Structure 1
Amino acid sequence: MTDQPLARHNILVLTTAQALGAASPPIIISLGGLVGQQLSSDPALITLPVSLFNLGLAMGTLPAAYVMRRFGRRSGYLLGAGFGITAGLVAALGIFTASFLVFCLGTFTAGFYAAYVQSYRFAATDAAEGALKAKAISWVMIGGLVAAIIGPQLVIWTRDAFPGTPYAGSFLSQAALALMAIPVLMLLRAPKAARQAEGTRDTGRPLMQILTMPRYMLAVAAGVVSYGLMVFVMTAAPIAMVGHGHSIDHAALGIQWHVLAMFAPSFVTGHLMARFGKERVTAVGLFLIGVSAAVALAGLELAHFWVSLILLGLGWNFGFIGATAMITDCHTPQERGKAQGANDFLVFGTVAAASFFSGTLLHASGWQTINWLIFPAVALILVPLVWQAANTGRASVSSP
């Protein structure tokens, strides 16, 4: 199998795996804070399970990058699925035994699975070239559309599966999704260049040299802000909705619409990047995140929450996928492990911090304060991003 047919094969495999793996975070985000309310005696800790999920994701990025470089993508992804199965079982055990600590351990372990799932987008570009490489990331992210339906619907269908222990069934379903991903991931095939790079000592430029590239720095910063702000708001949103009189089902459906908006644009994001450039698409994403905050500040009706979450999802799609595509322009195949791993560590380390801060701030200052903080963060990255997009021109539109 030559590289381009192989790339298309892997894109299909990774899209399917994404549909299963990306369904876990909506379950944790929808229910983590609500289970926290049920099990924790301290109101300030109710979002801790979600925050620990993001912490596990951040801590798992560098080990995941090492495992995949040493043993290959497929072996790493199978290990990640094992973490996913364990996470769902442990979280369910925490609910059955009414142990907040055990439940938090389960959501933390789920973060290690997510660290592998997040790299599916990079794996899609391993064998791709030309226009296919430019579109591969967004094509794989389309799998998130299915995940956006599976995750929240599983919350609704299974949260009362075990009388007396609400939500335990949802976390058992999370383990089942990871188990289903294993036969799919077995179909992944490594391109020749990746096989040659595995286990070699030639790792290209030093990491510090890559980190100090202006284009790499801006791409990382755009990813940090896009993903960090999204999680900052989404962690607090279900608790805020329930706190302002909306039902749990409405909160879960709000997250579903949000996740649908996160992935639905992936059908066109690759084409938009090829047409207008990665920087311009990323800038539009950041702008939409700012608009989502304005809508949230306009009122507390269900429509305000849902429209804000939809715009937040759209902004994340353009911002994060655009930033990811910018990263792939900044490294060679030999450098991919360190460059991609460092990017994800920085992005998801910030995401973890944002998640911890979100719960504390919601408890202390409320939903409005969370949304007001979005504007300065967006402006900080939007200005240099627009400047670079204007100076890059159409030379940056074509794929590398």
Structure 2
Amino acid sequence: SFLRVSSTTNTVTETAASDARPLAEIVTQPRFVAALFCTVGSYALMSFVMTGAPLAMVGCGLSEDDATLGISWHVMAMFGPSFFTGSLIHRFGAERILATGLVLLIGCATVALSGLHLWQFWTALILLGLGWNFGFIGATAMVAASYRPSEKSKVQGFHDFVLFGSVAFSSLMSGAIYNAWGWTMLNWVVFPVVALCFVALGTLRMVGSRELSGGSTCSTRAMNMWNSSM
């Protein structure tokens, strides 16, 4: 027997494709630009500091077991809050959760710069993980609110290309900067990057975001996409 494909399905697909905007139009929206800055900033900083932390710990005379356990706490802090981060975004909004994550990243650098004891390394790594969780998930919720369902593939492809290219570069630079200037300089880099992310958020608040057809808010659209993926 032969499979009959409904003409209704073809019509819906063609309509969705015709509603899709050019990629250049989507990625120049204020909301997408701000979200891209923040996804790249939060993820790249996490990779940047995390890569250098074990080197610094061992270089300061701590054991490899101490460094391994510190990274374990860091990974737990990265993914543990994910059970409720979506609910927090739904309640308080993606921008507020993102801003909280950026503040936690500042806290990470501040603690790391305060000394070289074991508890300072571990506390900084935990704050780094929490900052990544709130910052990155909050920013990706903003990305999800910047495109229509028919535009998802090309926008996510562009976003992920820029994101993971930047993360790879940050990991490479982490070792180079640590080797040249040490752990202190590695953490000072956090502040200007976070400042740029806050500038992007502030600019978004001033100029406003372009509303997608249907008028969905960032938080609602992000939660709908989260639920549909489960």
TM range (shorter): 0.7 to 0.9
- Deviation of 1:210 (Å): 1.1
What is the one-letter code of the residue matched to 1:314? L
User: 1:247 and 1:280, CA in 2 relative to 1: closer, same or farther beyond 3 A?
Assistant: same
Preserved contact between residue 205 and residue 335 of structure 1 (Cα < 8 Å): yes
Preserved contact between residue 145 and residue 218 of structure 2 (Cα < 8 Å): no
CA distance in 1, matches of 2:155, 2:26: 7
Aligned partner of 1:289 among 105, 109, 122: 105
Q: Find the counterpart in structure 1 of residue 136 from structure 2.
A: 320
CA distance in 2, matches of 1:281, 1:396: 15
Aligned partner of 1:365 among 181, 190, 202: 181
1:140-171 CA distances to partner (integer Å, 9 max, x unpaired)?
Answer: xxxxxxxxxxxxxxxxxxxxxxxxxxxxxxxx
What is the one-letter code of the residue matched to 1:368? T
Aligned partner of 1:399 among 190, 199, 220: 220
Q: Find the counterpart in structure 1 of residue 191 from structure 2.
A: 375
CA distance in 2, matches of 1:226, 1:384: 13
Q: Unmatched 5+ residue regions in structure 1? A: 1-192
What is the one-letter code of the residue matched to 2:220? S
CA distance in 2, matches of 1:297, 1:303: 12
CA distance in 1, matches of 2:94, 2:205: 8
What is the one-letter code of the residue matched to 2:157? G
- Deviation of 1:345 (Å): 1.0
Aligned partner of 1:344 among 155, 160, 182: 160
CA distance in 1, matches of 2:35, 2:66: 35
RMSD over equivalenced CA pairs, Å: 2.2
1:363-391 CA distances to partner (integer Å, 9 max, x unpaired)?
Answer: 11100000011111101111331564687
CA distance in 1, matches of 2:130, 2:22: 35
CA distance in 1, matches of 2:202, 2:26: 22
Aligned length: 202
Q: Unmatched 5+ residue regions in structure 2? A: 1-8, 210-215, 222-230
- Deviation of 1:252 (Å): 1.1
Aligned partner of 1:224 among 40, 57, 60: 40
Aligned partner of 1:211 among 27, 47, 55: 27
What is the one-letter code of the residue matched to 2:177? L
SS at match of 2:220: coil
CA distance in 2, matches of 1:213, 1:265: 29
Q: Find the counterpart in structure 1 of residue 90 from structure 2.
A: 274
Preserved contact between residue 141 and residue 219 of structure 2 (Cα < 8 Å): no
Identity of aligned residues (%): 52
Runs of 4+ off more than 2 Å: 200-203, 386-392, 395-398
1:261 aligns with 2:82: no
CA distance in 2, matches of 1:207, 1:264: 34
CA distance in 1, matches of 2:175, 2:219: 41
Q: Find the counterpart in structure 2 of residue 66 from structure 1.
A: none
What is the one-letter code of the residue matched to 1:288? L
- Deviation of 1:223 (Å): 0.2
Query: Bigger relative contact order, structure 1 or 2, given CA contacts below 8 A and separation 6+?
Result: 2
User: 1:313 and 1:285, CA in 2 relative to 1: closer, same or farther beyond 3 A?
Assistant: same
CA distance in 1, matches of 2:86, 2:205: 17
Aligned partner of 1:247 among 63, 77, 87: 63
User: 1:329 and 1:397, CA in 2 relative to 1: closer, same or farther beyond 3 A?
Assistant: closer
- Deviation of 1:259 (Å): 0.7
CA distance in 2, matches of 1:229, 1:216: 19
1:314-368 CA distances to partner (integer Å, 9 max, x unpaired)?
Answer: 0000000011111111112221111111111111111111111111111111000
Give TM-score scaled by structure 2 length. 0.81
SS at match of 2:163: helix
Preserved contact between residue 279 and residue 322 of structure 1 (Cα < 8 Å): yes
User: 1:209 and 1:397, CA in 2 relative to 1: closer, same or farther beyond 3 A?
Assistant: closer
CA distance in 1, matches of 2:18, 2:54: 47
